[in-house]
Amino acid sequence: MSVEGASERGVAGNELAATDCAGFAGRWRERGVRAGEGEDAGRADSVYSCVPLQWFREMLIDGVGDGKLKRFRKMLIDGVGWGKFKMFWEMSLDGVEHQHIRYNPLKDSWILVSPHRCLRPWSGQTEPPTEEEPPQNNPLKPGAVRGNGQTEPPAEEEPLQNNPLKPGAVRGNGQKNPLYTSTYVFPNDFPALLERVPEPPQSEHPLFQAKQARGTCRSERDTSTYVFPNDFPALLERVPEPPQSEHPLFQAKQAKGTCRVMCFHPDSNITLPLMTVDEILAVVQEWTNQLSELGRRYTWVQIFENKGAIMGCSNPHPHCQVWASSFLPNEPRIKDRCQKEFYTKYKKALLVEYVEKELESKERIVIENADWVALVPYWAQWPYETMLLPKHGHPQRLTDLTDAQKRSLAEIMKHLNTKYDNLFKCSFPYSMGWHGAPTGPTKIPGDSPHWLLHALYLPPLLRSASIKKFMVGYEMLAQSQRDLTPEQAAAKLRECDHLVHYKTLKKM
């Protein structure tokens, strides 16, 4: 910024502008060094030495005031680093980078963006990253006995380890995994959904409504894939009706479903970015198979992966889950309504329009190939959240993808996950999942033109491999809030290598 520019803003008369910038910077640097002792003094010295005089000149011309000068001085003495100092100064000049709210048309909600919070000191919980070692007794290992007692012949090549997801392992319900060599899907041993359940108590009051929830968490096996029922499912296929109430505030309905666990690979030490494209393609194909089978019976089939202990993953073995339910869950229900309203008004799918605009601007794109684009949504909630979208063809469900789209999907998933891991040089934790048009016995291809298939990656890490974003307080009681802007997050991810994984470099 020039002195003339400052004069136009009425600040040229600020007495600080007449200060000799070089002398001021030198004196400030000396004060900073004297303020520290030992290691702190050296740190302050190294930080001050990297601050160009132009930054001090602009501070003085702008007349930032004693309060901000003291804050700058404290930041530098505390050794926050040139990167954060530069970020704070840029945000102090650029009004666009100040806090604002952004609208999420997919969910009819708003998110508060507060980029200046990236500079706040952190003395809260940190979680040092560790290379996750597979448990010794892994129930997902080929030949292992799972928790339900089911077994398969143990592996002959290596002794069983305490990893319930490895080939040959015994899971918590006593069942034993087969010696699978590719993907493996099985019913969740402790499902959240069951297929047979009773009806819940009914109430006529609108504020106390409940419904039966049907679903299942099962698995199937063949020579190349292994899908098995979740040993502890959240949904079951056979459940009684819940007790009914005539009061509108106490409503319940039956919920039926099934929950399955799907292993990506027989090796417990591997993660998706370290798998080959062909191995990831097998995962994509099995996702399609699961959606095709379960979608004939259930209204919603949720494919999701929780990666990393920080995300509550109970086993580091590479795997995901498939929950199918007789009801439409909240998130897809809201998305279905919002996309339908947009389509009715504009005669075009919301996400089709969105992809076109993002491809034009390139501002939030992380990586793309011939068929897919990964971007940080304009309305992203999590620090490094990304959305994976098809660029052509308007597929509404995974089952709509062509063979070419599946292969290019496997490629971009490998590249995106490599970028994630390279960002903080760690196995990047996240929750991810697929959203597409609802399913069910009455659904047919092309019946939901307001939908566009997409995947979401929701990672919690904020500043480093050990500091995560906590969704608490304001986020739980008011609305979502994020620190760095989606544009900043996209830029950082774009800079990361997508071809060479940091673990590969370590071995070189």
Query: Which is the catalytic residue, given 317, 319, 450, 498?
Result: 319
Q: 392 and 434 share a domain?
A: yes
- Among residues 49, 77, 93, the one where a domain terminates is 93
The residue range of the domain holding 336 is 332-507
The verdict on 264 and 338 lying in the same domain is: no
Judgement on whether residues 320 and 345 belong to the same structural domain of the protein: no
Q: Encode 487-508 in three state secondary structure.
A: HHHHHHHHHCCCCCCHHHHHHC
Question: Is residue 254 domain-resident?
Answer: yes
Catalytic residue list contains 498:
no
Q: Are residues 228 and 260 in the same domain?
A: yes
In a domain, 388, yes or no: yes
pLDDT score for 64: 46
Helix (H) or strand (E) holding 262: strand 249-263
- Quote the pLDDT of residue 57: 44
- Mean pLDDT over all residues of the chain? 76
Out of 304, 327, 350, pick the residue that ends a domain. Answer: 327
Same domain, 462 and 383: yes
Report how far residue 22's alpha carbon sits from residue 28's, in angstroms, rounded to the nearest whole number. Answer: 10
Examine residue 43 and state whether it is found in any structural domain, yes or no: yes
Query: Is residue 372 located within the same domain as residue 315?
Result: no
Do both 318 and 337 map to the same domain?
A: no
Q: Which of 261, 292, 327 is the C-terminal boundary of a domain?
A: 327
Whether 383 and 482 share a structural domain:
yes
Q: Which residues of the chain have pLDDT under 70?
A: 1-97, 116-161, 197-226, 508
pLDDT tens digits, one per residue of 337-374: 999 999 999 999 999 999 999 999 999 999 999 999 99
What pLDDT, on a 0 to 100 scale, did the predictor assign at position 83? 52
Counted domains in the chain: 3
Is 369 in the same domain as 479?
yes
Tell me the CB-side half-sphere exposure of residue 155, using CA atoms within 13 A.
Answer: 22
In a domain, 308, yes or no: yes
SS3 state of residue 307: strand
Q: Are residues 313 and 374 in the same domain?
A: no
What's the confidence (pLDDT) of residue 221? 39
Q: Tell whether 314 and 446 lie within a shared domain.
A: no
Residue 295 inside a domain? The answer is yes
Q: Is residue 139 part of a domain?
A: no
Residue 317 lies in a domain: yes
* Same domain? 209 vs 310: yes
The pLDDT value recorded for residue 127 is 63
Report the CATH number at residue 403: 3.30.428.10
DSSP 242-259: PPP-SSTEEEEEEEEEEE
Residue 154 is assigned to a structural domain of this protein: yes
Q: How many angstroms separate the CA atoms of 234 and 220, rounded? A: 18
